Amino acid sequence: MAITIRIGTPADNAKIQDLVTKITMPGPAQMCFQRNPDFFVGAKVIGDEFVLTVADDDERPDVLAGLTVISGRELYISGQKRRVYYSGDTRVDPYYRRRGIASNLFVEQKKHRSTTDLLQGIVLKENTAPLDAAAKTADGVLFQYWISHSIETSFIFTRKITPRIPAGVTIRAASASDIPAMQAFFDREAPRRNGYPVYDMQKMAAGDPYYNGLKVEDYALALRGGQIVGMLAGWNQKAYKQTRIVGFKPAIKLLRPLYNLYVGIAGGFKLPPVGGMLNYLSLYNILIAQDDKAVFQGLIDWVMAHQGQKYDALAVGITHGDPLEEVPRGYKRQKLFSSHFWLSYGEDPRPGIDNRPLYVELGRL
């Protein structure tokens, strides 16, 4: 067996999809995070540029042994625009694990980065073992990383609801005529958080691949005195990004119809049959003037009462310490905890990052 690392291309899509289906999250319901039908469509949403490295096995030419993607996008860091690279979608076929393939993939990625580049990534519940393994090579330490924030992702269960809108505030869907005001509000509010992606509303409206599937009408605007004081969007990404059920433990398979009947009344994720997808909507581009919790709650309620009625849950990620972190906790929800890290092939980048709250955009992970 000889493993070769190279740059991936769209011609690899079928082999990438095969690799992705082999990597699942164990549990009573076994899940797989998929990127059907075209991995490269989803990659263009994560960053406006990306480098995909893949591992070939000369004895098994029809499969990929592993892959990793590092994507570049403009973020606000310490109030300024900066190119930041997201390290995500590192996947190694279980057949090839513990053979140093992840390290080899990152060695190839290093050729495309400088020692001054700032990188970031996310792991589940401080599960840093894969990072530790990838960082070590025969020549020593390939890169360093530093856990910076805990992230609390809430899957807020939808229900029939009358939105709780603060006095003096109106909430409505956005339209094309709102784009200039939305951009001005964004330009003022987004730099208040580190890690906030730099967005161009005109590109979104024009259908740029970075905003695939998102329309201006997907935004809810909160206004006071005719001025925007908050906004967010519901982003349906099922066309290229899915959480799919690939198996059940026997007891869960037997009880699934009763469970679905219960959550249909009480709220929660319905369990689709094997091959089906979890049905949730990602809350996106969350901006709230003065971190007004009541406005944030009103926007979540409004989306739940409108777009949200077609979904089992609304997904929102907030880092611990963010002024808005208490708002999702006020809903019936399912929680998922993860950790954000900074990564560098050179020096520790943290001295150049101030203490503003960290923003995490679920739709770009």
Q: How confident is the model at residue 125 (pLDDT cuts 50, 70, 90)?
A: confident
Closest by alpha carbon to 21, among 308, 245, 197, 280?
A: 245
The reported pTM is 0.95
Q: Mark out the alpha helices in the chain (DSSP H runs).
A: 13-21, 39-46, 101-110, 129-135, 179-189, 201-205, 250-266, 293-305
Residue 144, strand partner residues: 344
Domain locations in the chain? 3-149, 155-240+274-338
- pLDDT > 80? residue 139: no
Lowest-confidence range among 115-129, 162-176, 243-257?
A: 115-129
Task: Evaluate whether 3-149 and 155-240+274-338 have a shared fold.
Answer: yes
pLDDT at 141: 79
Tokens encoding 48: 């406006």
pLDDT at 251: 94
* CATH C-level class of 3-149: alpha beta
Per residue in 260-309, pLDDT (tens digit) is: 999 988 889 999 999 999 999 999 999 999 999 999 999 999 999 999 99
- Other CB atoms closer than 10 Å to residue 213's CB: what's the count? 16
- pLDDT > 80? residue 126: no
- Other CB atoms closer than 10 Å to residue 44's CB: what's the count? 18
Do 84 and 73 form a contact (C-beta atoms < 8 A)? Answer: yes
pLDDT at 89: 87
- pLDDT > 90? residue 256: yes
Q: How confident is the model at residue 34 (pLDDT cuts 50, 70, 90)?
A: very high
Look up the CATH superfamily of 155-240+274-338: Gcn5-related N-acetyltransferase (GNAT) (3.40.630.30)
Closest by alpha carbon to 280, among 324, 241, 249?
A: 241
Per residue in 297-315, pLDDT (tens digit) is: 999 999 999 999 999 999 9
| CA separation for the pair 144, 43 (Å, rounded) | 24
Going through 268-355 in order, the beta strands assigned E by DSSP cover 280-288, 313-319, 333-344
